[in-house]
Amino acid sequence: MKIAALVGSKREDSYNHRIALFMQERYRDQLDIDIKDIASLPHFDQDDEENPPEVVQQFKKEIREADGILIVTPEYNHSVPGMLKNALDWCSRVDKVMTGKPVLIAGASPGFLGTVRCQVHLRQILAAPGMAAKVLPGNEVFIGAVHQKMDDEGSITDTGTVEFLDMVVGNYVNFAELERKKEELAGN
């Protein structure tokens, strides 16, 4: 299954980016995860939405061609980082490339809440008419106190967190497969 991953932080030592890399490696037998470069997308401009810059066209093509989406993001000021929101705004217009895509959300922060507030907003955003993505219900991956749960190489060392991630990814694979069958039955 081809998965486009969007990471909400461009920080070099980003915990969230490391988690995306950890998932890419750990679940490589189930998911072919490709982390997309959303940092180089220009700010969304409605004047350009019909004929966006090449980098946006390429990004939207990759989203369109993906079987599913993984979002791994920090929380910024109790919400979704602007860089991630910007990428989603491009996706939401004209050909609406997120429509029907099965989405798995995860997030990490050094604080205790582990991006809870961001993910509440993110689920709302992904339900907007221009998005209409199919977010895996439940299975909320909030990795709080992340600095105590990873080693210097970027592996998650907390076994409870890894076991939970294993379960969530298994649920996601089943969910995505079921959604694909439903689409087939509907003739899409």
Question: Regarding beta strands 68-72 and 134-135, do their DSSP bridges make them parallel or antiparallel, or are they unpaired?
Answer: unpaired
Tokens of 8: 């909400």
85 binding ligand FNR? (CB under 6 A)? no
159 binding ligand FNR? (CB under 6 A)? no
The residue among 77 and 159 lying less far from ligand FNR, judged by its C-beta, is 77
The residue among 97 and 150 lying less far from ligand FNR, judged by its C-beta, is 150
CA distance 70 to 74: 13
39 binding ligand FNR? (CB under 6 A)? no
User: Are the C-beta atoms of 136 and 104 separated by less than 8 Å?
Assistant: yes
Number of residue whose CB is nearest ligand FNR? 74
Query: Site for ligand FNR (CB under 6 A): how many residues?
Result: 14
161 binding ligand FNR? (CB under 6 A)? no
CA distance 176 to 106: 16
Rule CB under 6 A: choose which of 5, 75, 80, 102 binds ligand FNR: 75
User: Are the C-beta atoms of 114 and 143 separated by less than 8 Å?
Assistant: yes
Instruction: Please report how close the Cβ of residue 15 comes to ligand FNR at its closest, in angstroms.
Output: 4
119 binding ligand FNR? (CB under 6 A)? no
Span of 45-53, 109-117, 123-131, 163-171 interacting with ligand FNR by CB under 6 A: 109-117
Q: Give, as one character, the DSSP assignment of residue 37.
A: -
Kindly give, in sequence order, each residue whose CB lies less than 8 Å from that of residue 102, ignoring residues fewer than 6 positions away.
67, 68, 69, 133, 134, 135, 136, 172, 175, 176, 179, 180
Span of 23-31, 37-45, 103-111, 149-157 interacting with ligand FNR by CB under 6 A: 103-111
User: Are the C-beta atoms of 125 and 87 separated by less than 8 Å?
Assistant: no
51 binding ligand FNR? (CB under 6 A)? no
Q: Is the dihedral of CA 19, 146, 98, 43 positive or negative?
A: negative
Rule CB under 6 A: choose which of 5, 16, 102, 175 binds ligand FNR: 16
| Interface residues toward ligand FNR, by CB under 6 A | 9, 11, 14-16, 74-78, 109-111, 113
